[in-house]
Amino acid sequence: MTLSAKSRAVAENRQLDVVAATNLTATTDDMLRFCADHGVLISTSLDGPEWLHDRQRIRLAGASHALFERRLEAARRILGEDRVSALMTTTRASLEHPEAIVDEYVRLGFRTVFLRPLRAFGFAAKAADTIGYDIDRFLGFWKRGLHYIIELNKRGIFVSETFSRIILTEILTPFSTGYVDLQSPPGIGSAE
């Protein structure tokens, strides 16, 4: 007999988090209610302020950011504030604007921002020549963003940076974060 993921998690005394990744633009209130009824978390996409988000998330009808904000409000109303998170895609266009990106997350009520490097999967792999960058440019962006987040926290505006938390957890604790991007492919780093 096959058990559903929820039943299996209960039977094995494990925590199960189901996360739907969506840019929210095609979600309806009915879809969001389904997620709420079944304990599904939402991970959405926010690339920064309107001008940057719209540049990176092109819609035929335009105004991707405005639609995102409306659907974000609906998702939070239906699922709850703590059930909706956001990720950004760091492209070449993002690199000079870490403060503006962080400010947009704060303005929209997010208390975490994940300043993560671009990974060459899906659309990013196809567009690497126009949106990609070298790691040194990313590290400059990340450092500026992290310094800005520290300054915001000193001023009483509490926001954390997820990439830093993951790295520090991996370095300073015996606990794995499970962050796949920090795991070596088979054969690399293993003793043979």
Q: What is the pLDDT of residue 104?
A: 98
Residue 185 confidence (pLDDT) above 60:
no
Q: What is the pLDDT of residue 188?
A: 38
Summarised one tens digit per residue, pLDDT across range 38-83 is 999 999 999 999 999 998 887 656 688 999 999 999 999 999 999 9
Give the residue, 174 or 190, on which the prediction is more confident: 174
User: What percent of the chain stands above pLDDT 70?
Assistant: 83
Q: Which of 87, 103, 119 is the last residue of a domain?
A: 87
- What does residue 188 show for φ and ψ, rounded to 5 degrees? -95, 125
Would you place residue 129 in the very low, low, confident or very high pLDDT band (cuts 50, 70, 90)? low
Domain containing 162 equals 94-174
Q: What is the pLDDT of residue 178?
A: 78
Q: What is the pLDDT of residue 121?
A: 52
Q: Which of 25, 54, 87 is the last residue of a domain?
A: 87
- Regarding whether 83 and 124 lie in a shared domain, the answer is no
Total count of domains within the chain: 2
- What does residue 134 show for φ and ψ, rounded to 5 degrees? -90, 165
Would you place residue 17 in the very low, low, confident or very high pLDDT band (cuts 50, 70, 90)? confident
- Regarding whether 166 and 116 lie in a shared domain, the answer is yes
Chain mean pLDDT for the chain = 86
Q: What is the pLDDT of residue 187?
A: 40
- Regarding whether 16 and 98 lie in a shared domain, the answer is no
Q: What is the amino acid identity at position 121?
A: F
Q: How far apart are CA 66 and CA 111, in angstroms?
A: 20
Q: What is the pLDDT of residue 33?
A: 97
Residue 1 confidence (pLDDT) above 80:
no
Q: Which of 60, 87, 114 is the last residue of a domain?
A: 87
Average pLDDT over residues 103-121: 88
Summarised one tens digit per residue, pLDDT across range 89-110 is 888 899 999 999 999 999 999 9
Extract the tokens encoding 63. Answer: 């105004």
Q: How far apart are CA 185 and CA 182, in angstroms?
A: 9
List b or e across 55-86, with b for residues whose CB sees 16 or more CB atoms inside 10 angstroms: ebbeeeeeebbebbbebbebbbebbeeebbbb
